[in-house]
Chain A
Amino acid sequence: MTDKTWAYEDFEVGRVIELGPRRVEAPEMVAFAAEFDPQPMHLDEEAGKASILGGLAASGLYTAAIFMRMMCDAYLLDSTSQGSPGVDVLNFRKPLLAGDTLNGRTTVLSRRVSSSRPGLGFVSVRHELFNQHGELVCELANTGMFLLRNPGAAA
């Protein structure tokens, strides 16, 4: 048994979980870029405007990191998560610009209980992040591992 709100059984196929909102501020975006991705379009307003991103734009990995935080705050920290082996698909559809506000959703696509570890299940999901104009900024597809709430029951 678990005292967490989210266990494998709660991720019903078709369920949609809301993420955010999260406003992205220039100082945090630029600090991330300075440490991990110091390309001019991620550091400087003028360089961003002159680039094909059209403004001071986040590193794609900052967008991914913000997505991770939004997922943590929405459900992951209050779940039986056992981590994730990776991400199958991550597409950057629109630049994430300083001052944007992200909203998102996680949609459960499929799930199965591990055959080798009956107390563990795999949940395959699609995540989408939208800006304040409703434009898709970023989408991801991955599989997470979660413990079952009732490993003995037929799932």
Chain B
Amino acid sequence: MSLDQRLAIGETIVLGTHTFGAGEIKAFAAKFDPQPFHLDEEAAKASVFGRLCASGWHTISTWMKYNAAAMPGIVERSKAFGEPIEFGPAAGIRDLKWLKPVYVGDTITFTRRALGHRPLASRPGWRMMTMENEALDQDGTVVMRFSTMVLMKTG
């Protein structure tokens, strides 16, 4: 069985759907990104965004929440094609684009798609996998896109 099958290369996996509420948008912003348009409806009206919207870091962190929840299923499925894969930490992010604000009440669907992988010379048994990830709003418009490089133990 091939490593590509174990890692689901090329396959878009839908991770889940999340509706962003005002409370969570403000709570995240208060801790990490206290710009007025993430904290207060009235200030947001007067801002370039026009309405209360989530910090971009809140959007990508929520993508991770659904990605982490999907991991056990992805590991389980890999067993059909050999030894189970093991997720390690991320090495980096590339081309993170916040294409549209995520407004309060938006329902966002998160996806991931593994693009490829290469061996890590410094860590035998580990590979670096590249994934392209998206967030789409209720109209199917891509509101966020980014790539991640993740360490994977494949044996």
Task: For residue A11, give the distance in angstroms from its CB to the closest CB of chain B.
Answer: 17
A114 within 8 A of B: no
B98 within 8 A of A: yes
Task: For residue B69, give the distance in angstroms from its CB to the closest CB of chain A.
Answer: 8
Size of B's binding interface in residues, CB under 8 A: 35
Choose one: A37, A57, A61, A77; the contact of B57 (CB below 8 Å): A61
Contact call A65/B57, Cβ cutoff below 8 A: yes
Binds A, one of B2-10, B28-36, B111-119, B133-141: B28-36
Q: Mark A80-94, 1 if CB is under 8 A from B, else 0.
A: 011111111111100
Q: How many residue pairs bridge A and B at CB < 8 Å?
A: 93
- When distances are taken between beta carbons in the complex, the residues of chain A under 8 Å from B98 are 83-86
Contact call B48/A52, Cβ cutoff below 8 A: no
User: Quick one: which of B139-155 are within 8 Å of A by CB?
Assistant: 146, 151
Alpha-carbon gap, A89 to B123, bound state (A): 23
Contact call B34/A87, Cβ cutoff below 8 A: no
User: Quick one: which of A54-101 are within 8 Å of B by CB?
Assistant: 57, 59-61, 64-66, 68-69, 72, 76-77, 81-92, 95
Alpha-carbon gap, A61 to B97, bound state (A): 15
B81 within 8 A of A: no
- When distances are taken between beta carbons in the complex, the residues of chain B under 8 Å from A39 are 68, 71, 87
A51 and B88 contact, Cβ closer than 8 Å, known pairs A36-B61, A37-B64, A69-B31: yes
- When distances are taken between beta carbons in the complex, the residues of chain A under 8 Å from B71 are 39
If over half of A's interface residues share one DSSP class (helix, strand or loop), that class is named, otherwise mixed; here it is: mixed
Contact call B90/A60, Cβ cutoff below 8 A: yes
Q: Mark A17-45, 1 if CB is under 8 A from B, else 0.
A: 00000000000000010011111010000
Task: For residue A114, give the distance in angstroms from its CB to the closest CB of chain B.
Answer: 13
B80 within 8 A of A: no
B96 within 8 A of A: yes
Alpha-carbon gap, A116 to B32, bound state (A): 32
- When distances are taken between beta carbons in the complex, the residues of chain B under 8 Å from A90 are 92-94, 96
| B interface with A by C-beta (< 8 Å) | 28, 31-35, 48-49, 55-57, 60-62, 64-65, 68, 71, 87-99, 123, 126, 146, 151
| A interface with B by C-beta (< 8 Å) | 32, 35-39, 41, 51-53, 57, 59-61, 64-66, 68-69, 72, 76-77, 81-92, 95
Pull 5 A–B residue pairs with CB atoms less than 8 Å apart, ordered by A: A38-B68, A64-B57, A66-B32, A83-B98, A84-B56
